[in-house]
Chain A
Amino acid sequence: MRWSVEKKTDIWSVKLGSDSGVLSVVDLSIDGESVESGVIIELSKNNDTLIVRDGQEAVEAIVTKIKDSWWITIQGQTFVVTEADGNSNSSGEERGGLTAPMPGIVTEILVKEGQRVRSGQPLMILEAMKMEHQVTAPKSGQIEKIYFSEGEKVDMGSDLLSISD
Chain B
Amino acid sequence: MQVPEWMTNAPTPFTSVLVANRGEIAIRILKAIRECGLVGIGIHNDLDSNSMHLDYADKIVHIPGEDLASTYLSSQAIIHAARSMGADAIHPGYGFLSERADFAEEVIESGLIWIGPPPDAIRVMGDKISARESMIQASVPVIPGKSIDVKEGEDPLPQLAAAAAQVGYPLLLKASAGGGGKGMRAVKEPKLLRMEYEAASREATAAFGDGTVYVESLLTGARHIEIQIFADSHGNIIHLNERDCSLQRRHQKVIEEAPSPAMNTDLRKRMGNAAIDAARAVNYEGAGTVEFLLSSNNDFFFLEMNTRLQVEHPVTELITGLDLVHMQLRVASGQELQIGQDEVGITGHSIEARLYAEDPSVGFLPSIGMIAKFQTPQGPGIRIDSGIREGDHVTTSFDPMLAKLIVHAPDRLSAIRRLDHVLSKTVLHGVKSNIDFCREILSTDVFREKGVTTNYLDDGYHSHQTNKPTDATLVIVASAADKFGLQRTQSASNSKTTMSHSGHVQDPFLTLSKKFP
Which positions in A face B, CB cutoff 8 Å?
1, 3, 5, 7-8, 10, 12, 14-16, 18, 23, 25, 28, 30, 35, 37, 39, 41, 43, 48, 50, 52, 54, 59, 61-67, 69-79, 81, 94-97, 99-103, 126, 128-131, 133, 156-157
Contact = CB atoms under 8 A, between A and B. Distances in A.
B424 A5 contact: no
A71 B369 CA distance: 13
B480 A16 contact: yes
Contacts of A8: 471
B489 A76 contact: no
Contacts of B468: 77
A72 B489 contact: no
A43 to B, nearest CB: 6
B183 to A, nearest CB: 32
A45 B391 CA distance: 25
A78 B50 contact: no
A79 B474 contact: yes
Nearest to B433: A78
Nearest to B436: A77
B436 A67 contact: no
Contacts of B423: 76
Interface stretch (B79-87, B108-116, B344-352, B490-498): B490-498
Contacts of B436: 76-78
Nearest to B467: A75
A99 B483 contact: no
A4 B185 CA distance: 40
**Which of B48, B467, B469 counts the most chain A CB atoms within 10 A?**
B469
B489 A157 contact: yes
Contacts of A50: 477, 480-481, 484, 486
Contact of B491 (A37, A76, A101): A101
Contact of A1 (B391, B474, B478): B478
A74 B469 contact: yes
B489 A75 contact: no
Interface string B366-384: 0001101101000000000
Contacts of B484: 23, 43, 50
B384 to A, nearest CB: 16
Interface string B347-361: 000000000000001
B67 interface: no
Contact of A76 (B47, B50, B424, B482): B424
Contacts of A66: 369-370, 372, 429-430, 489-491, 495
Contact of A157 (B439, B479, B487): B487
Contact of A101 (B49, B370, B479, B482): B370
Given A76-B426, A128-B492, A131-B492, A63 B476 contact: no
Given A30-B472, A54-B473, A94-B490, 12 more contacts: A5-B475, A16-B476, A16-B479, A50-B477, A61-B481, A62-B373, A65-B489, A102-B391, A129-B393, A130-B47, A131-B493, A156-B391
B488 interface: yes
A69 B49 CA distance: 29
Contact of B486 (A18, A37, A65, A128): A65
A43 B487 CA distance: 12
A3 B483 contact: no
A12 B472 contact: yes
Given A35-B472, A79-B469, A101-B490, A1 B482 contact: yes
A71 B393 CA distance: 16
B475 A3 contact: yes
A67 B425 contact: no
B105 interface: no
B267 interface: no
B435 interface: yes
Contacts of B48: 129
28 contacts: A3-B479, A12-B475, A14-B479, A15-B479, A30-B472, A37-B472, A48-B486, A50-B480, A50-B484, A52-B476, A62-B373, A64-B430, A65-B489, A66-B430, A72-B474, A72-B481, A76-B423, A76-B435, A78-B433, A79-B469, A81-B474, A100-B490, A101-B370, A101-B491, A102-B370, A126-B492, A129-B48, A131-B493
B318 to A, nearest CB: 23
Nearest to A2: B475
Nearest to A99: B488
A130 B488 contact: no
Contacts of A133: 492
A78 B491 CA distance: 18
Contacts of B390: 156
Contacts of B478: 1, 3, 14, 63, 70, 72, 81
B465 interface: yes
A59 B487 CA distance: 19
B489 A37 contact: no
Nearest to A35: B472
Given A64-B429, A71-B429, A78-B429, A41 B477 contact: yes
A1 B481 CA distance: 11
**Which of B48, B373, B430, B487 counts the most chain A CB atoms within 10 A?**
B487
B167 interface: no
A10 B471 contact: yes
Contacts of B486: 48, 50, 63, 65
B507 interface: no
Contacts of B483: 16, 18, 23
Contacts of A59: 469
Given A5-B474, A76-B426, A94 B479 contact: no
8 closest A-B pairs by CB: A101-B490, A76-B424, A71-B429, A64-B429, A81-B478, A41-B480, A133-B492, A12-B475
